[in-house]
Structure 1
Amino acid sequence: MTDTAPVDDWDTDYDIFDPGYVTDPAPVWEELRSQCPIAHSERWGGSYLPTKYDDVQALAKMVPELSSRDILVTSSPPEVIEELRADPDFEKYGTNAAPISEDPPIHGWTRRLLLPHFSPQAVEAHRQYTQELADRLIDEFIDAGKVDGAGQYAQQIPPRVIAHLLGIDESRVDEFTHWVRCILELGLAKPELRIEYRRVIRKFFHEVVEEKRANPDDGFVSSLLAGTDDHGNPIDPMMVVGMLNLQLIAGIDTTWSSIGSALWHFGTHTDDRKRMVAEPELWPSAIEELLRFYSPVTMGRRTSEDVEIRGVTIPKGSKVLMNFPGANRDPEMFERPDDVILDRPHNRHIAFGAGIHRCAGSNLARLEMDIALRTWFERIPDFEVSEPDQVTWAGGQVRGPRYLPIRFPSIG
């Protein structure tokens, strides 16, 4: 499963953790589109990788042919799965992260409970907090003239915003960040680590849910606990644990990776940075373009039956990677797909997914990106990535910079 041998043939043996692929996967997608648009590999438990926009769209909308019960991009070895199921806490804490990890009908009513909290109007309630947070973070390093733009800025914003949304202690942000990395990054190659921190997260949210059951209020968690399923039955508290798990897992790494990638782009593309300083009215279209170009998320699906696409039969039980980042570089859909065009007029990107599982939190993610980037540019308009060869990226499930050295004129 963890074979790290060099890739000889990307058509039949791709490696989503290959260092070159993590740093810049676009050349691989371009090659595959022209000769093998549905690639296959046995690495990391085996999977299929579509690279064309239309194919990714079609596969994402195949429900129930492609199940969302297994959303990670790697597969755990059978012995690890058996160990997990033998754990007495397995039934108590489960593995669901509804609605993203559920199929209909559970998907439908759990998503219905979440959506009111992530409407454009609802997320505006978090604007002031997010603005004050961005300013507070910049205050901490602006006098130094340098910063790790990933660790000290981008990674600090989404965990705190999510904590604010959930009504939990934001001072534990470093713990939340570590937990998420152990699920979506470090744990992909080490399933034992992933299982350990899945249990840590669920235990934490089980305690949150129990406290809110005992002391309900008008906040997010209590609202979910007061919900019902499609038959009017009270929601199982353990389902709420899973839904809170989703907010932490899906709402942190994805957005911090998008903010970090944007800072990397502007810190290495001087003309684009200067243009945004001169034309701040471009931010709405620029954010959409950055989301397209640096789409962070790849999701896993598991076929519940044989699936035919582009002449390829994907057998029942196979892992399929929803390659949204690759789809967003398809030249059949986007003119000059490998260029960032800040004022791109038509941008039907699928960075937030497609079909019924399209990201429910997209409005909040956009708000965080907008505030984080505008505030940075207002206060630090002149900056650059100081040591490009030392920038590190995470890949696989979520791609984004993890270390991003930036320098700028010192204020102090």
Structure 2
Amino acid sequence: MHDDPQRSGNWTVPDHVPADLVRFLDFRTGLGPCPHAQISEFHKGPPVFYSPLSHQDRGGEGRGAWVLTKAEDIRKMLQNANLFSSAEPRSYAMGESWKLIPLELDPPEHGKFRAPINPLLSPKRVAALEPRMREIAAKLIDQIKNDHECEFIATFGEQMPVRVFLEMMGMADDELAKFRDWADMIVHDRARRGQAMSEVKVFLQEQIAEHRANPREGTLVTEVLSFKAGDKPFSDEEVLGTVFLLFIGGLDTVVSSLSFHFRYLAENPDEQRRLREDPSLLPDAVEELFRAFPVVTTGRILSEDTDMFGVQMKKGDMVAGSTLLSTSDPDEFENPEIIDLARSPNRHNAFSFGPHRCLGSHLARREVQVAIDEWLKRMPEFRVKPGTEFETLGGGVMGMRELPLVW
């Protein structure tokens, strides 16, 4: 083993990693106020490098990862689930081994479990939710619009999508703050991840038991209880893994996306005006905002030794594919640093590629479009509160601590 040349002697890298390919990037350490621009600077270096610390330790401290920077290479990783495995459970962080379903399954098991889950968040089902999304958004905006300022995330950015999703799950929203704390610890806080996962597990087991005893037609938890993989009903552990993934996914990623999207609009009043004057631009604008401000970095585990991406990788190595790098690749997008709300074509992978493409992509798109549309209809021109110093949060999902707005 040899020491990481960019840090003190606390970090080491495997012998098969060339010393000149070591960089330190765990997508959570040393983040500045503009993490997307900061991380895109890695495009100036080698197309693949090794970071001595990974954003996903999966139960072990100090585990490193190969980091891919090219969109084409990241697609190859995401589409080759046999070589780049997702099957190492995050529950290792709490000393257990049950899996998030279908995220932590490889083909062919993945397809068997994903098939019954797909309809839960289909375009048709999501479209039917739009009136309720607009109702919730309008109510939240009306509560704050006369205050002339707000902390966006607490008052709207987390309230709107999380309330929508908890209704879908068939859960009460009176403990929303606690749910968000859990999501924050699991996604952003390596030290407390296992504790938070344990607490969520107990809560969800209680919810599942309640839905078994008193089914609530049309809610996600009740529907999952009836699922089969092929002709075999989901086991209790598989039900838990599915509900756990839905629950955490619904609490964090859209909130993080909305935070970056609204920050951009607040800092660019001309873009606000364009969308107010022509709402038909909104679908393309939202796609560009997802491209410019993606939030997810995923990890895969190599199932065998391979020579790929110009380096030698070993079985068991972790490989990170970050949307923050794939959507800012200058070989993939012309002038990726320029945010063009009319960009077309826009073949980004903010929702991943391959068998693990995001289950909630249709919901996320619809929620963001509705949120921006309702806000622009009801609010005057808004901007970031003067003197704001942004604090960003990293890990598997990039986030923002606060977004103070004034109007």
The alignment partner of 2:50 has SS state of strand
Mapping of residues 4-83 of structure 1, within 5 Å? 11-15=21-25, 16-20=27-31, 23-30=34-41, 32-44=42-54, 45-70=63-88
Aligned partners of 2:394, 2:20: CA distance in 1, in Å? 17
Task: Show CA shifts across 1:188-208 (max 9, x none).
Answer: 2x1xx1111111111111112
Matched, 1:150 2:153: yes
What letter is aligned with 1:33? H
Give the whole-Å Cα distance in 2 for the aligned partners of 1:267 and 1:279: 18
| Native 8 Å contact 1:392 1:404 kept in 2 | no
Residue 127 of structure 1 aligns with which residue?
130
Identify the match of residue 96 of structure 1 among 99, 107, 118: 99
Answer yes or no: is the 8 Å Cα contact 1:99–1:110 preserved in 2: yes
In structure 1, the residue matched to 2:60 is none
1:198 is aligned to 197
Shift of 1:174: 0.9
User: What SS does the corresponding residue of 1:273 show, helix, strand or coil?
Assistant: helix
Structure 1 counterpart SS, 2:107? coil
**2:319 aligned residue:** 320
Match of 2:187 in 1: 184
Shift of 1:21: 5.6
1:33-92 Cα distance to aligned partner (Å, 9 max, x none) = 3431101111242011111110100011111111112476xxx9xxxx5x943xxxx4xx
Task: Return the offset for 1:243.
Answer: 0.7
Of 211-220 and 343-352, deviating more is 211-220
Aligned counterpart, 2:110: 107
2:285 alignment partner in structure 1: 286
- Code of the aligned partner of 2:270: D
Deviation at 1:242, TM superposition (A): 1.0
Conserved 8 A contact 1:159-1:252:
yes
Q: How many percent of aligned residue pairs carry the same amino acid?
A: 30
Note the C-alpha offset of 1:309.
Answer: 2.1
Amino acid at match of 1:100: L
Equivalent position SS for 2:49: strand
The 1:176/1:381 distance shift into structure 2, 3 A limit, reads same
- CA positional deviation for 1:19: 2.8
Aligned counterparts of 1:245 and 1:375: Cα–Cα separation in 2:
30
SS at match of 2:334: coil
Is the contact made by 1:134 and 1:157 (CA closer than 8 Å) also made in structure 2?
Answer: yes
Q: Aligned partners of 2:115 and 2:313: how far apart in 1?
A: 31
Check conservation: 1:260, 1:400, Cα contact below 8 A.
Answer: yes
Tell me the equivalent position of 1:330.
329
Q: Tell me the amino acid that sits aligned with residue 87 of structure 2.
A: R
SS at match of 1:100: coil
Q: Which residue of 1 aligns with 2:310?
A: 311
How far 1:315 sits from its partner (Å)? 1.3
Per the alignment, in what secondary structure is the counterpart of residue 97 of structure 1?
Answer: coil
CA RMSD of aligned residues (A): 2.4
Per-residue deviation, residues 154-198 of structure 1 (Å, max 9, x unmatched): 111222111111111112211111110110012x2x1xx111111
* Corresponding position of 1:405: 404
Matched position secondary structure for 1:206: helix
Rounded to whole Å, the distance in 1 between the matches of 2:68 and 2:154 is 32
Give me the whole-angstrom Cα distance separating, in 2, the residues matched to 1:346 and 1:217.
Answer: 42
- Distance in 1, matches of 2:208 and 2:377, equals 40
The one-letter code matched in structure 1 to 2:323 is: F
Moved more, 209-218 or 145-154: 209-218
The answer to whether the 8 A contact 2:31-2:393 is kept is no
The separation in 1 between residues aligned to 2:33 and 2:247, in whole angstroms, is 23
One-letter identity of the residue aligned with 1:17? R
Query: Which segments of 5 or more consecutive residues in structure 1 lack a partner in the other structure?
Result: none
CA distance, structure 2, for counterparts of residue 272 and residue 11 of structure 1:
40
Question: CA contact under 8 A between 2:301 and 2:316: conserved in structure 1?
Answer: yes
Equivalent residue in structure 2 for 1:141, among 141, 144, 150: 144
TM-score w.r.t. length of structure 1: 0.88
Once the two structures are superposed, residues 264-289 of structure 1 have per-residue CA deviations (whole angstroms, 9 ceiling, x without a partner) of 00111122222212221100000000
Report SS of the residue matched to 1:334: coil
| SS across alignment from 1:171 | coil
Report SS of the residue matched to 1:313.
strand
Q: What whole-Å deviation, never above 9, does each CA across 1:212-241 have from its counterpart, x for those lacking one?
A: 2223342322222112112x1121122111
Letter in 2 for 1:403: E
Check the 8 A contact 1:202/1:242 in 2, yes or no: no
Measured in 2, the distance between the counterparts of 1:150 and 1:84 equals 29
Give the aligned length: 385
Q: 2:71 is aligned with what amino acid?
A: Y
C-alpha distance in 1 between matches for 2:87 and 2:20 = 27
- Which shows bigger deviation, 17-26 or 358-367? 17-26
Runs ≥4 residues deviating over 4 A = 3-6
Q: Distance in 2 between matches of 1:324 and 1:272?
A: 24
Output the CA distance in 2 between the equivalents of 1:199 and 1:215: 24
* CA displacement 1:331-383 (0-9 Å, x = unmatched): 11111111110111200000000100000111111111011111111111400
Q: Secondary structure at the match of 1:143?
A: helix
What corresponds to 1:228 in structure 2?
A: 228
